[in-house]
Structure 1
Amino acid sequence: MASSRKVFMFPWLAYGHISPHLELAKKLSDRGFSIYLCSTPINLEFIKKKITQKYSSSIYLVELHLQETPELPAFYHTTNGLPPHLMSTLTNTLKRAKLNLYNILKSIQPDLIIYDVIQMWTARLAAALNIPAVKFPTNSVAAFSYILHKYINPGQEFPFPAIYVSDIEQARNVCDVKNANNAEAEDNSTADHPEDDEQEVPKRFCDSIMVVRSCREIERKYMNYLSDITMMKVVSVGPLFQDPGENRDEKNDELIQWLGEKSECSSVFVSFGSEYFLTKEDMEEIALGLELSNVNFIWVVRFPVGQKMRLEEALPEGFLERVKNRGRIVEGWAPQAKILRHPSIGGFVCHCGWSSVLESIEHGVPIIAIPMHLDQPINAKLAVEVGAAVEVVRGENQRLDRDVIAQVIKDVVIGNVGDDLRRNVRVLSQKIQSSEKEELDEFVELLTQLCGEK
């Protein structure tokens, strides 16, 4: 029975990866599994705040200690606030903790492991311990299948023309296929694990299922293609967002009250994620685009940890004064889901991180896409393809233009384009919500079968 099954979950060290793992953990807990969620102590402090009393006896937090160095102290054992030049150092430090993780797994003896594809080497630890393992990429299936396609079939066009990465986007570190797949190649190395020379376990234990944070209504053809090229069963489990009832933070109610004074679909929410920081040039063009659009807005502005800058210094001169009656600038954080649910929101200006795309669709809000790097341009193209977004097209020099931004915002909030998008997005939202339980039930059945094969 599922009630006796222990599932070990191992996300990458970024909040954007940890959160969907945690939400999946809650879904599995609701269906009788005991969950052991493993990360570094600094990340577990973040996770603890999101585990309610309901899950306190079924979701257990497991500390994985990494080596501390002067360059990478314990408070940098997370991507949150990590200086970009230390990302490869963190990745390599995590790899060197394989033996620690191996010993944790030997102690817990889980029936199954769900691991982030960034840690591809986890599959070898699972194999050495005879534990079934399930891959969990937290990005879109379109992006993941595109990366794998380019890795497996170099020089061949991706079979879906709507999804591509231009040469200029590639130069901006968009879906770096070579670097993204180094981990796959490194799985063939057994030198740094004492048990890797033991005989191979059956292939089904580590290569039979991949779970994806998506739904068939959005990415059916990409799921089918990913299944074809990996020879794995690809199962979707929905968007995996925190239950709105669990988040009762009222410190931003003033923003909601402000929105309540605006007419329906008259405002945009603007946010570019928790771990990307706009250049001064991009920030200026976005600010002036918002100003030229004459649309109400809430804009979440973030600066890197340790960078002290006043909003007046970061934004164009006089901007705050000129937009004070129709714009709110929030530094650091705002209740994104609560804002997107508000009826006065008519569009979401965002970077198209996969979480933001799914959240916007779930709440029936059209996307004004301004992708920045990594898989975001692919997510933006996917959102356009399914009728949920309009992308702000950059100039030949890849620079944003305030006039283009203003026009797209007006088209979505005021024009007929926005009416069509809203209809499309609301239909998608209904389809996602109606299929989520069925998809989760299918995944649980597969997990139960895998555990039974151990």
Structure 2
Amino acid sequence: MATLKRAFDMASPNFSNILRTLMPDLLIYDFLQPWAPSLALLQNIPAIEFSIMNAALLSSICAHDLNNPTAKFPLHLRDSDIRKFHNQCEFSSNGIKDGDCIQQCCARSCKIILVKTSREIEAKYVDYLSDLVKKKIVPVGPLVQDPMDQTLDEETWIMKWLNKRERSSVVYVSFGSEYFLSKEEIELIAHGLELSKVSFIWVIRFPKEEKGTRVEEVLPEGFLERVGEKGMIVEGWAPQSKILNHYSVGGFVSHCGWSSVLESIKFGVPIIALPMLYDQPINARLVEEVGVGVEVKRTAEGSLQSEEVAKMIRDVVVEKIGEGVRKKALELRDNMKKKEDGEIDGLVEELMQLCTR
């Protein structure tokens, strides 16, 4: 991400020339290009922000904190979550912090802001954000592609393993592409999976500097032998949408990156939330509020416990207590599917209006 930010900042001096050459009717930008709308305005080109973050997060860091900081925020957030997010915000090469970039992008967007979300998930936060920034918020839907029918060679063994499992009996475990679990976290989650006695498929990634590390080196001794055929470890990459769409998957242990949350919702898979950094704690609260998942409780110091991980997995995937979450995940999947085309049609209409003004 840091490299991408530097690349965008380095491109800004030439961007005016690009606009003059292309003469677009409309410019759509995201928080990595806070300088873009000002350059577009100089050439009378309307510019609107497309946020890959949800409306709850934007309401908090982009509007609520500035415009109405003393009011009670609609989504319950721990003070530690807010501090952690702001502390983790990076500086771009021009010295602007991420949070400031996000705020600038909202402020400079022309009349509307596009948000990767759905009113089925975030209606009250969409309305709250609109009220705070005095602009129309246009949900564009989850924008999650359906899995391709074609199965790649490296996917075949995963699909064969899943095909042998009963419906909704497997928990899928993945923490995205930007966060790497420490050895201690891997051991803790491994113990939790083993204690849960639920079949699992677990994607483990290592950072570049640890290239060559073998999974066996970081897992608890004897773990692979003890779980046997009940568990599958996948190193590096896995076809997440295909896995979540498989009938045997009944839960997703997730870091709650927003794209992963939307994928899980699209395929009707309840979430066992294990947020780690950035916007993930806010996303996890939203998942719980909507009723499509539960967050694994931490100690007062913020630590995880294997027993709690195991309990939440069993509650969501197996136990009667999780029936409500499982049912809600399927209901939300179906409701969003009905509204998806309407959200895209609404987006097209808004863009057409901007281009013809």
Q: TM-score, normalised by structure 2?
A: 0.92
> Paired residue for 1:165, among 61, 78, 87?
78
Aligned length: 350
Q: Which residue of 2 aligns with 1:181?
A: 99
| 320-329 or 95-104, larger mean C-alpha shift | 95-104
Matches within 5 A, 1:81-100: 87=2, 91-100=5-14
Seq. identity, %: 46
| Distance in 2 between residues matched to 1:230 and 1:172, nearest whole Å | 21
The CA distance in 2 between the partners of 1:401 and 1:238, in whole Å, is 35
Contact 1:168 1:398 (8 Å CA) reproduced = no
Cα shift at 1:238: 0.9
2:129 paired residue among 226, 232, 239: 226
CA contact (8 A) 1:170 1:176 kept: no
Cα pair 2:63 2:103 within 8 Å, conserved: no
Of residues 25, 37, 40 in structure 2, which corresponds to 1:111? 25
What is the match of residue 93 of structure 2? none
User: Could you report, residue by residue, the CA deviation over 1:217-250 in whole angstroms, capped at 9, with x for unpaired residues?
Assistant: 1101100011111111111111101232376534
Q: Check if 1:243 corresponds to 2:146.
A: yes
CA contact (8 A) 1:174 1:377 kept: no
Q: 1:313 aligns with which of 187, 192, 217?
A: 217
Contact 2:85 2:279 in 1 (8 A): no
Say if 2:60 and 2:73, in contact at 8 Å, map to a contact too.
Answer: no
Q: How does 1:113-262 map to 2 (within 5 A)?
A: 113-153=27-67, 155-160=69-74, 162-167=75-80, 170-171=83-84, 176=89, 179-183=97-101, 206-245=109-148, 248-262=151-165
CA distance in 2, matches of 1:282, 1:174: 21
Q: 1:206 to 1:412 in 2, by over 3 A?
A: closer
- Per-residue displacement from partner, 1:230-274 (whole Å, max 9, x unpaired)? 111111111101232376534212111111111111110000001
State the shift of 1:322 in Å.
1.3
Higher helix share: 2
Amino acid at match of 2:14: N
The offset of 1:176, in angstroms, is 5.0
Is the 8 Å Cα contact of residues 384 and 390 (structure 1) preserved in structure 2?
Answer: yes
Aligned-partner Cα distance in 1 for 2:244–2:146: 14
- The aligned residue for residue 246 of structure 2 is 342
CA contact (8 A) 1:136 1:211 kept: yes
Q: Which residue number corresponds to residue 194 of structure 2?
A: 291
| CA deviation vs aligned residue, 1:117-151 (integer Å, no higher than 9, x gap) | 23221110110121111111101111111112344
Q: Tell me, yes or no, if the aligned pair for 1:352 and 1:379 is still in contact at 8 Å.
A: yes
**Does the CA contact (< 8 Å) of 2:245 and 2:267 recur in 1?**
yes
**What amino acid is aligned across from residue 76 of structure 2 in structure 1?**
I
SS at match of 1:96: helix
Kept in 2: contact 1:150–1:158 (CA 8 A): no
Preserved CA contact (<8 Å) 2:86 2:99: no
Structure 2 residue identity aligned to 1:218: I
TM-score, structure 1 length as denominator?
Answer: 0.73
Report if the CA contact (8 A) 2:67-2:132 is conserved.
no
- Residue 154 (structure 1) shift: 6.6
Label 1:435 to 1:318 Cα distance change in 2 as closer, same or farther (>3 A): same
Q: Deviations over 1:74-127 (max 9, x none)?
A: xxxxx3xxxxxxx3x753553232122222222111111111123221110110
- The one of 307, 311, 328 equivalent to 2:232 is 328
Q: Which ranges in structure 1 are unaligned for 5 or more consecutive residues?
A: 1-78, 80-86, 188-202
Cα distance change on mapping 1:371 and 1:354 into 2, 3 Å: same
Residue of 426, 429, 445 corresponding to 2:330: 426
